[in-house]
Amino acid sequence: MCGIVGYVGSQSALEVVMAGLKRLEYRGYDSAGVAVLADGGLAAAKRAGKLVNLEKELVDRPLPTGSTGIGHTRWATHGGPTDANAHPHLDNAGRVAVVHNGIIENFALLRAELAERGHELSSDTDTEVVAHLLAEEFSGCADLAEAMRLVCRRLEGAFTLVAVDSDEPDVVVGARRNSPLVVGVGEGEAFLASDVAAFIAHTRSAIELGQDQVVELRRDGVTVTGFDGQPAEVRPYNVDWDAEAAEKGGYDYFMLKEIAEQPKAVADTLLGRIDAAGNLTLDEVRISAAELREMDKVVIVACGTAFHSGLIAKYAIEHWTRIPCEVELASEFRYRDPILDAQTLVIAISQSGETMDTLMALRHAREQGAKVLAICNTNGSTIPRESDAVLYTHAGPEVAVASTKAFLTQLVACYLVALYLGQVRGTKWGDEIRAVIRDLSRIGGAVERVLETMEPVRALARSLAGKDTVLFLGRHVGYPVALEGALKLKELAYMHAEGFAAGELKHGPIALIEEDLPVVVVVPSPRGRSLLHDKIVSNIQEIRARGARTIVIAEEGDEAVEAYADHLIRIPVTPTLLQPLVATVPLQVFACELATARGNEVDQPRNLAKSVTVE
């Protein structure tokens, strides 16, 4: 989604803001702009397209040097990605500039009222009304912060706003409702940004802003109030990601780096959560064991890849705890009038912690009295802040839009929650749970082994660059893995890709099978649930008999599949429920390599944003 940067201090505001916007490019955008206060006035530049277009504009028409400024990368919602619709937006006198992330739902009415009062608006955006409203209010206010509070009280919807006014040359003012905004506090300087990546090169001291708050930045400090003007409690924290961690580390793409980081991300997510006796210690989960014992239903809400981790969690939760578990697309959840009460545990899974669909789903759940546990990768983000408890994944910054290490750590966190529920509630699977905890603590090594054998997968992907369809099949926990493999290929290679439960083939999808059609099949372990294994081997025979090119992901030692696999990808032997942790990795590598072979932009695929902060 949109990226926002604000700066006040002694450095060149333009340099700080432009560097910050570059660090936010991963959020996905289609135009960019900056505004600087200098020489008693305000100067702005904005261009459709990538930052390189704005940089060219700034060379052709340089802005004056100033030490206060704001910047924005826009992901178009109201109004197309044009120069006129790019942010910042200014009032008619050119003294106020504002940038925005979110949607102002009552902008049409506000726009009509402004026009009646003689304001001339020049864009199709909802944001522009704010510049004009701020100019109006500021003319009768003590300062820009007060004007911002008055304007925010008139806005409806989700918005993060950052503004400057040439009458207050050393001040940047921000406001947030729903969309993310974080403050960076430096020595004699201060920053505002959509996320910490924009300023961690300068400072790691951050302040998370809460709902309906206005922040005023000056060189010598930061003031935070509610929209009502009352001083607000703030929560400073130290950002433990350093600038290096968010760089590519020698890889061509952030995605490749993040795939390679998975063993460490998995191990880091387990750190401190398994004690010496092999028991789980999830003290950070601020829902008591007594409350967890009262739960009679679990509902998981999430989107995209996070939804797929929830589908896998369902198998683990129901098996180990015998509590019924529903998994819902967050965007559908609250519209189906779900049955929720105080005995329902809702688990909201989100890498960014800002996905609006998931945020709205958890708000609905809390209104219905359910307890909400967030599984999230971003400290200080909105979803954990609005949940009763949070279990953080420790994947580190995930910059590539296509989620990889966040997915694997979401799985680890889901397994931990399932095992913890089993542990505190007591379950007949006590011995199995202890064995699985032991296996989990070793799974990082298994992922490492998979990563060491990926060259044939990359070669296979390159050989399929000319294909336009790939199907994915799986059974049991392999079915959500098939869905995730298909999503990766869609969002990276822009190919038609679809995941099916293998048992569904005969109910329709087998009609799709034709000569040389690539079909990836995720095969469950032949141990334990051999019936499941034998059925999917039959499925492989059925599609091969109809001409499919079978790409089989199967455990080391599974000989039954060898006769029917045109391409065989081996994964380490793991307990059935944990197999997604190793079976997903080849599918990530496959999609990334195929996208590269097709010349696609891997880290920021077309039309996509890293965090979808609008519904």
Which residues are part of the catalytic machinery? 2, 610
Q: Does 403 bind ligand AGP (CB under 6 A)?
A: yes
- For residue 322, give both structure tokens: 């015998």
Q: What is the smallest separation between the CB atom of 509 and ligand AGP, expressed in angstroms? A: 22
Neighbours of 431 (CB within 10 A): 8
Residue 502 beta carbon to ligand AGP: minimum distance, rounded to whole angstroms: 23
Range in contact with ligand AGP (rule: CB under 6 A) among 165-173, 275-283, 396-404, 578-586: 396-404
Site for ligand AGP in 136-175 (CB under 6 A): none
Using the rule CB under 6 A, is 270 a contact of ligand AGP? Answer: no
Measured CA to CA in angstroms, residue 283 lies from 109, 158, 273, 291, 420 at distances of: 49, 33, 8, 14, 11
Q: How far is the CB of 172 from ligand AGP (least distance, A)?
A: 27
In the complex, minimum distance from the CB of residue 309 to ligand AGP, in angstroms, rounded to a whole number? 9
Question: The tokens of 473 are what?
Answer: 């099949």
Give the residue from 64, 13, 72 showing the smallest Cα distance to 40. 64
Which positions from 286 to 305 touch ligand AGP by CB under 6 A, shown as an x/- string? -----------------xxx
Among 179, 579, 596, 611, binds ligand AGP (CB under 6 A): 611
Burial group, residue 162, by CB count within 10 angstroms (0-12, 13-18, 19+) = buried
| 350 near ligand AGP, judged by CB under 6 A | yes
**Runs of H (alpha helix) within 117-261:** 128-138, 144-152, 254-260
How is residue 189 annotated by DSSP?
A: -
In the complex with ligand AGP, the residue whose CB is nearer, 85 or 377, is 377
Contacts of 598 by beta carbon, 8 Å cutoff, 6+ apart: 465, 493, 494
**Nearer to ligand AGP (CB atom), residue 376 or residue 433:** 376
401 sits near ligand AGP (criterion: CB under 6 A): yes
Number of residues that bind ligand AGP (CB under 6 A): 15
CB of 330 to ligand AGP, least distance (A): 8
Of 126-134, 237-245, 255-263, 401-409, the segment contacting ligand AGP by CB under 6 A is: 401-409
Helices (H) and strands (E) in the chain, counts: 18, 24
Structure tokens at 421: 């529920």
- Segment (H or E) for 270: helix 262-270
- Is 268 a binding residue for ligand AGP by CB under 6 A? The answer is no
Of 179, 351, 409, 525, the residue at the interface with ligand AGP (CB under 6 A) is 351
Residue from 553, 608, 603, 521 nearest 304 by CA: 608
Amino acid, single-letter form, for residue 559:
E
Using rule CB under 6 A, residue 381 touches ligand AGP? no
For the chain, give the longest Cα–Cα distance: 81
Query: Rule CB under 6 A: is residue 584 a binding residue for ligand AGP?
Result: no
The CA distance from 388 to 384, in Å, is: 8
Determine if 358 is a binding residue for ligand AGP (CB under 6 A).
yes
Neighbouring C-beta atoms of residue 606, cutoff 10 Å = 10
**CA R_g for the chain:** 26
Integer angstrom CA distances of residue 611 from 24, 261, 348, 352, 584: 11, 21, 15, 6, 22
* 54, 306, 412, 473: which one binds ligand AGP (CB under 6 A): 306
∠460-461-466 over CA atoms, to 5°? 110
Q: Which stretch binds ligand AGP (CB under 6 A): 79-87, 387-395, 397-405, 454-462?
A: 397-405
**Does position 355 bind ligand AGP by CB under 6 A?**
yes
The answer to whether 328 contacts ligand AGP (rule: CB under 6 A) is no
Spell out where 507-546 has E strands.
Answer: 518-522
Amino acid, single-letter form, for residue 421: L
352 near ligand AGP (CB under 6 A): yes
Segment interacting with ligand AGP, rule: CB under 6 A, options 275-283, 352-360, 438-446, 500-508: 352-360
Helices (H), 157-261: 254-260
**Nearest to ligand AGP of 525, 588 (CB atom):** 588
Q: Which of 135, 239, 317, 402 binds ligand AGP (CB under 6 A)?
A: 402
- Toward ligand AGP, which CB reaches closer, 1 or 471? 1
Find the residue with minimal CB distance to ligand AGP: 304
Where does this chain bind ligand AGP (CB under 6 A)? 303-306, 350-352, 355, 358, 401-403, 491, 611-612
